[in-house]
Amino acid sequence: MTGYGKATAEIPGRKLSLEIKSLNSKQNDINIKLPAFLRGKEMEMRTMVAQSLERGKIDIYISAELSTEAPHVTINKPLALRYHAELKDLLNELHEESPEGLLQIVMRMPEVLQAEKEELAEAEWGVIHAAFEEALAQVDAFRVKEGKVLENDMAGRISLILDYLKQTEPLEPVRLDTIKSSLHKNFEKYGQGDNTLKVDPNRFEQELIFYLEKIDFTEEKVRLRKHCAHFTETMAEEGNQGKKLGFITQEIGREINTLGSKANDAAIQRLVVQMKDELEKVKEQLGNIL
């Protein structure tokens, strides 16, 4: 949701600079700073932003400079005197002498010079409106470009999760042999000595098969692949899919966790940890999209 746009507009007597910045946020937080003669258009601007940009902390700065063509300008004397007094007080506190050109500094302060005509004609608003739309379009284009980068990053991480999953396949036969061997050794151990256990070998084999089926994670692997495919397909869909992608990552995480709890194998569990790490990075990126 990060974005930036800038545009300029020129109307009789004024040159305007429009700047829009957008940062990540869970809500649509719009802050606008504009010259006094544009305050009557603030609500219209807010509506334009809300319609164009969903979610984000959006800061809008519009500044206006009087052009050389401005025929009627007045000085806001009370404001100029206040600026002058404040600057003098500051210089005294800093034990500094008043610099040459202090008056010129005061005259450049905001709202000291004011055009007598504060009403905004419809034609003038049309020019500013077009510039505002241009800046909004730049922000949106910036967001789309950033979104493409995030899409590629998340797609790569989902691909890594599937790659780690594939790396578990050659480890599974070794895992099962290790588990069988361990169970047989324990069976032989407890079947010796004074307290010899009378165990039916057939029943033992049945229990062994039941146990191996219980720790089998074939279903989890199938579901994990489906969820990853669903995630990739959803990213390609139109519209805002951020929440939906968040739900899918929850399902991906559930399958990875179950796979890890059933693994009972150090090598596979290391791969599971890497899957979890990639998934956490995907979740972090999801906080940046709509």
Of 115, 133, 168, which residue is a domain's last? 115
Q: Are residues 178 and 91 in the same domain?
A: no
In whole angstroms, what is the distance from residue 134 CA to residue 114 CA? 27
| More confident site: 47 or 195 | 47
pLDDT at 193 over 70: no
In a domain, 251, yes or no: yes
Highest mean pLDDT: which of 65-74, 98-107, 151-160, 168-177? 151-160
Q: What pLDDT sits at residue 147?
A: 86
Q: What is the pLDDT of residue 65?
A: 84
For residues 155 and 230, membership in a common domain is answered with: yes
Domain contains 222: yes
pLDDT at 218 (0 to 100): 83
pLDDT at 44: 93
The rounded distance, in Å, linking the Cα atoms of 242 and 247 is 9
Give the global pTM.
0.65
Local structure of 28: helix, strand or coil: strand
Same domain assignment for residues 195 and 251? yes
SS (H, E, C) 157-201: HHHHHHHHHHHCHHHHHHHHHHHHHHHHHHHHHHCCCCCCCCCCH
Is residue 239 included in any domain, yes or no? yes
250-267: per-residue pLDDT in tens? Answer: 999 999 998 888 887 888
**Residue span of the structural domain in which 97 resides:** 73-115
Q: Are residues 154 and 280 in the same domain?
A: yes
